[in-house]
Structure formats: structure tokens, C-alpha cells
């Protein structure tokens, strides 16, 4: 009996070894394929950060110096002391947070209605929402400026927030619609049995279960608003409410760019979105794991 058990255990161990070897090979191949792609994506960010701490001589040296001799914070001092960079960052934070809050609420309601509603034309509307996001921004920049100017909101926080809401709403609605569709219908049916209305099911059941989707939508909306340039440039112009991308554009002249401060300002602009993404990414993973455990 003991011999049979030992043989069975040995057989299972031998069966596991090829699987482990196969998994290891797949990982090696995956790393070999992904490493160049990751390096290609990360290299511009690293070059930007390294260039921002070079001296002017190293920055414009040819051939370029890949690693500076030391860290020089001169470009950062020029950006923080000689420009309105902090004001631009505050403006972007106000616009990003305001537009993201509105977009998350509106896209959650619209996405749930398109995913669970039974009104006529629902399929046409759901497809039209995504098609609206496909058109390039420059096509509706002038019409949006005409509307915002007509209601007296050009150059103001409410004006650019409304424009960013219109810019982010289609894709965020599509994201939330797909997430609500992935939720089991049995939960909705159980809510109806308990006497919940359609609104009650949305507020008390769908929204808590869709927390990871809401977080993803918030990340997308905020980063899109933080990085958006064209609409902000058209609506705000050169006023006091300029956002960070519009403010950074000041370092680009008609004939030459001031590359040192431009690299420093861009590096500072990337840090908040990078930290936000890393922070909320853990929340998303935790929410997905918690939902799997509860299920």
C-alpha cells in the first residue's frame, strides 16, 4: 500500500516537472518579446528625466551624453521660480478633478441604462456613443468654442470643465456599459425580488459592484483631462486659467524650443498622473480580488 502511494506521488511529481518547464519557457519567451517593447515605450520618459537634470552644455552636446556627470537642478529652478508653473498645475488639477467627477457620475448612469435598459434604439445609441469618440478632436474644437463663447464661459473653469466632460463622456460611457454588462443578471433579479426599483438596483447593487470599473473610468478621465491640449488651448487661450499643457507650450518658440526647461516642466507634469495611476491600480486589483472572494 505504501509502495503504491509512493509510486503515485512520484508519478504526479514527474507530471508536474514538464509543466513547470513549459511554464518557464513561456515566461522566458514572453519576457524576451515584451522587454524590447517596454524599453521602446519607457525610453522617451527616461531620456526626458535625464535631460532635465543635465547642464546646458551636456544637453546640447553632440554626440549626446547618455549619463550626465552630475545632477543639475538649474532647469527646475527656472521652471518653478521664473514661470507660473504651479498656477498651471493647480488649474489642471481643478479642471481634471471637476470634469472627472462629472464624467464618472454621468457615464455610470448612461452605461447602466444602455447595458440594462430596454428602451427602443438602445443598440443604435450604444454604438453611436463609441463612434462619437472616433472623430478627431480638431473637428469639434471650433463648434465647442462657439457654444462655450455663446454662453459666456470662454476662459473660465466651468467652460473648460464642460468641454472636457464632452470630450471624455463617450468613451467613459462605453467603458461603464461594458462593465455593467459583465455583471451577472441574477443580482439584478434578486434585487427586484427584494422590492428594489431600477434606480435602487443601480445605486445599491450595481454601483458597489462596479467600483473597479468606476476607478478605471476615473483614471482614464483624469489623465485625459490632465494631458489634453487642443481644446484647452482653444477655450482658454492665454488667460489666467491656462492648464498645464497650454502653459508648457510657452517653452516652444516660433523658431526654437527651450529644451532644458521644457524637459523639466514635462517631467514634473508626468509625476502626478504616474503616482495616481500606481495608487489606484492597487485599488482596482484589490477590488477585483475582493469581488472574486465574495462571489
Considering the domain architecture, whether residues 38 and 88 belong to the same structural domain is answered as no
Residue 76 maps to a domain: no
Three cell numbers at 218?
476615473
- Which tens digits make up the pLDDT trace of 3-41? 444 454 555 545 455 556 667 778 888 788 888 888 888
Q: How confident is the model at residue 140 (pLDDT cuts 50, 70, 90)?
A: confident
Q: How far is CA 79 from CA 73, 96, 128, 214, in A?
A: 10, 22, 43, 35
Global pTM reads 0.78
Considering the domain architecture, whether residues 44 and 154 belong to the same structural domain is answered as no
- Which of 81, 96, 74 lies closest to 263 in space, CA to CA? 74
Q: How confident is the model at residue 150 (pLDDT cuts 50, 70, 90)?
A: very high
Considering the domain architecture, whether residues 221 and 260 belong to the same structural domain is answered as yes
* pLDDT the model gives residue 64: 81
Considering the domain architecture, whether residues 20 and 145 belong to the same structural domain is answered as no
Residues 31, 35, 41, 43, CA torsion sign: positive
Residue 147 maps to a domain: yes
Q: How confident is the model at residue 158 (pLDDT cuts 50, 70, 90)?
A: very high
Considering the domain architecture, whether residues 159 and 105 belong to the same structural domain is answered as yes
Considering the domain architecture, whether residues 194 and 243 belong to the same structural domain is answered as yes
How large is the average pLDDT for residues 133-137? Answer: 79
- Cα(277)–Cα(281) distance, integer angstroms: 6
Considering the domain architecture, whether residues 161 and 204 belong to the same structural domain is answered as yes
Greater pLDDT, 158 or 187: 158
Residue 236 maps to a domain: yes
Considering the domain architecture, whether residues 89 and 8 belong to the same structural domain is answered as no
* pLDDT the model gives residue 225: 92
Measure the CA dihedral 202/205/209/213, to 10°. Answer: 0
Q: What percent of the chain has pLDDT over 70?
A: 86
Greater pLDDT, 260 or 14: 260
* pLDDT the model gives residue 288: 45
How large is the average pLDDT for residues 90-117? Answer: 91
Last residue of a domain, one of 52, 70, 91: 52
Residue 29 maps to a domain: yes
Residue 58 maps to a domain: no
Considering the domain architecture, whether residues 163 and 40 belong to the same structural domain is answered as no
Considering the domain architecture, whether residues 197 and 100 belong to the same structural domain is answered as yes
* pLDDT the model gives residue 17: 54
- Cα(283)–Cα(235) distance, integer angstroms: 34
CATH code at position 163: 1.10.3720.10
Considering the domain architecture, whether residues 157 and 232 belong to the same structural domain is answered as yes
* pLDDT the model gives residue 295: 40
How large is the average pLDDT for residues 60-64? Answer: 83
- Cα(282)–Cα(121) distance, integer angstroms: 38
C-beta atoms surrounding 249 within 10 Å = 13
Domain that holds residue 13: 2-52
Q: How confident is the model at residue 2 (pLDDT cuts 50, 70, 90)?
A: very low
Considering the domain architecture, whether residues 47 and 168 belong to the same structural domain is answered as no
Residue 27 maps to a domain: yes
Lowest-pLDDT choice from 17-31, 47-61, 109-123, 210-224: 17-31
Residue 65 maps to a domain: no
Number of independent structural domains in the chain:
2
Q: How far is CA 21 from CA 11, 15, 24, 133, in A?
A: 16, 11, 5, 45
Q: Are 52 and 264 in contact (CB under 8 A)?
A: yes
Q: How confident is the model at residue 285 (pLDDT cuts 50, 70, 90)?
A: low
Amino acid at each position: 500500500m505504501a509502495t503504491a502511494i509512493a509510486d503515485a506521488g512520484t508519478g504526479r511529481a514527474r507530471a508536474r516537472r514538464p509543466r513547470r518547464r513549459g511554464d518557464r519557457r513561456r515566461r522566458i519567451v514572453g519576457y524576451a518579446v515584451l522587454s524590447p517593447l517596454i524599453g521602446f515605450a519607457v525610453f522617451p520618459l527616461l531620456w526626458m528625466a535625464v535631460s532635465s537634470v543635465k547642464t546646458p552644455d551636456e544637453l546640447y552636446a553632440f554626440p549626446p551624453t547618455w549619463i550626465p556627470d552630475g545632477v543639475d537642478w538649474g532647469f527646475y529652478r527656472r521652471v518653478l521660480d521664473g514661470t507660473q508653473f504651479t498656477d498651471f498645475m493647480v488649474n489642471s488639477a481643478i479642471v481634471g478633478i471637476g470634469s472627472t467627477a462629472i464624467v464618472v457620475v454621468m457615464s455610470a448612469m448612461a452605461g447602466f441604462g444602455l447595458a440594462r435598459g430596454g428602451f427602443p434604439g438602445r443598440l443604435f445609441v450604444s454604438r453611436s456613443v463609441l463612434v462619437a469618440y472616433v472623430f478627431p478632436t480638431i473637428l469639434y474644437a471650433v463648434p465647442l468654442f462657439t457654444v462655450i463663447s455663446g454662453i459666456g464661459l470662454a476662459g473660465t473653469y466651468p467652460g473648460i470643465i464642460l468641454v472636457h466632460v464632452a470630450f471624455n463622456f463617450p468613451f467613459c460611457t462605453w467603458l461603464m456599459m461594458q462593465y455593467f454588462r459583465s455583471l451577472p443578471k441574477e443580482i439584478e433579479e434578486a434585487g427586484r425580488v427584494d422590492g428594489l426599483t431600477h434606480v435602487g438596483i443601480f445605486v445599491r447593487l450595481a454601483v458597489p459592484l462596479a467600483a473597479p470599473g468606476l476607478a478605471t473610468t476615473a483614471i482614464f478621465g483624469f489623465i485625459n483631462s490632465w494631458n489634453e491640449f487642443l481644446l484647452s488651448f482653444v477655450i482658454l487661450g492665454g488667460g489666467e486659467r491656462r492648464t498645464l499643457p497650454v502653459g508648457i507650450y510657452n517653452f516652444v518658440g516660433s523658431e526654437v524650443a527651450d529644451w532644458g526647461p521644457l524637459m523639466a516642466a514635462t517631467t514634473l507634469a508626468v509625476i502626478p498622473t504616474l503616482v495616481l495611476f500606481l495608487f489606484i491600480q492597487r485599488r482596482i486589483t484589490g477590488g477585483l480580488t475582493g469581488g472574486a472572494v465574495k462571489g
